[in-house]
Amino acid sequence: MQFPSPVSVKWLAEFINAELIGDDTLCATGINEIHRVEKGDLVFVDHPKYYDKCINSAATFIIINKQTDFPEGKALLVTDNPFEAYCKIVNHFNPFTPSSKMISDTAVIGENTFIYPNTFVGNNVRIGNNCIIHPAVTILDNCIIGNHVVIQAGTVIGSDAFYYNGKKDRALWYKKMPSGGRVIIKDFVEIGANCTIDRGVSHDTIIGEGTKFDNMVHIGHDTVIGKNCLFAAQVIVGGCTEIKDGVTLWGQVAINKTLTVGENAVLLGRSAIASSVEGNKTYLGAPAQEVSIARREFVWIKRIPELWKKVMDK
């Protein structure tokens, strides 16, 4: 999530009641979680297991619960509860704003775009030219829809990220992290009926130009999908995943979080991956393997009773 303008790290430290260690003249440009941080960002860490990863990431500012060594050009904001501090900053710069109209007065809708009845368009949404938004679609705050986009009935764009802090030292074990990101849908995208595309928890969820979704597709938070991808019905993509250009995911494919699917890869129906896969190959199975390997294994599995009978007959 980018701040409207650079924010003094000294002000941020005072706002969250943190001890500032480092250059207090620096300014932060945004706040992000670890998978999407960029230079100028603020990130939080509250477990020693992840100290090195956060401190040596692209982030310039680290909200942390213990003073430790850090590279030159960065600064620490030391506080007892980094997670609560992070949430306080996100909620300050991205507060909840109610909307009582089906189409918000702050929404911007382009020329020749048709919106069917019973569609909700939230605050600060931008929809481009020549789009068709079908009935009962929900487009929540701050989302951006490009030109020539079609969204079928019942789809939700910009629902909250499924992202919870699971530390067990508090009364509520799972505390929700506020979603400060957006959904950005590029030109010539088509979204089927009853799809859900979660907004980024801090970065943006992005659907690339020309990509097409069938019905009941779910896209997790902060996922970036490339151009001209094709997703069949009931595809599930976990958060912070990167899917390159030209990928095809057939029905009921499941992609675990924080993975990369290479350019022009094809995953056949009901496949699932738990690790990144290379591009320009076809995969099958759960866990998915290259299709030629998976099919050979299926043949051998079918032959197990025959082979077992030969062993027992000896």
Which residues are identified as catalytic?
221
CB 22 within 8 A of CB 70: yes
Strand partners, 267: 249, 283
Q: What is the spatial distance between Cα 275 and Cα 238, in angstroms, rounded to a whole number?
A: 12
Virtual torsion, Cα 69, 70, 75, 77, nearest 10 deg = -50
Q: Say which residue the tokens 């590029």 belong to.
A: 186
Which pair of structure tokens corresponds to residue 279? 């591009």
Nearest to 202 by CA among 224, 178, 185, 184: 178
Beta strands at 288-290 and 266-267: parallel, antiparallel or unpaired: unpaired
The greatest distance separating any two alpha carbons of the chain, rounded to the nearest whole angstrom, comes to 82
CB 200 within 8 A of CB 181: yes
105 vs 53, 63, 126, CA distance in Å?
43, 37, 11
CB 79 within 8 A of CB 16: yes
39 vs 14, 42, 73, CA distance in Å?
22, 9, 11
Which pair of structure tokens corresponds to residue 16? 């969250």
CB 199 within 8 A of CB 140: yes
Q: What is the spatial distance between Cα 274 and Cα 224, in angstroms, rounded to a whole number?
A: 17
